[in-house]
Structure 1
Amino acid sequence: MDFPALLRAVFALALTLGLIGLGAVALRRFGPDALARLTRPAKRERRLAVTESLVLDPTRRLVLVSCDGQEMLLLLGEGRVLAEGVPAPKDAA
Structure 2
Amino acid sequence: MWPDLLRAAFALGLVILLILVFGAVLRRFGGAGLQRQGKRLAVSETLALDPRRRLVLVRRDGREHLLLLSPSGDIVVEPGIDAAAPPAAPPATETEQADA
Whether 1:21 aligns to 2:21 is: no
Structure 1 position 69, deviation (Å):
0.9
**Is residue 43–residue 58 contact of structure 2 (8 Å, CA) maintained in 1?**
yes
> Where does residue 77 of structure 2 map in the other structure?
84
Following the alignment from structure 1 to structure 2, what is the Cα–Cα distance between the partners of residues 26 and 56? 43
- Deviation track 1:46-89 (CA, whole Å, cap 9, x = no partner) reads 22111111222221111011111111211111152134335477
> Where does residue 44 of structure 2 map in the other structure?
51
Q: TM-score, with normalisation over the residues of structure 1?
A: 0.55
- The ranges of structure 1 where at least 4 consecutive aligned residues each deviate by more than 4 angstroms after the TM superposition are 23-27
Following the alignment from structure 2 to structure 1, what is the Cα–Cα distance between the partners of residues 56 and 11? 47
Q: AA paired with 2:87?
A: D
| Residue correspondences, number | 79
Unmatched runs of 5 consecutive residues or more in structure 2: 25-30, 90-100
Q: What percentage of residue pairs aligned between the two structures are identical?
A: 38
Q: AA paired with 1:73?
A: L
The 3 A distance-change label for structure 1 pair 45 and 17 is closer
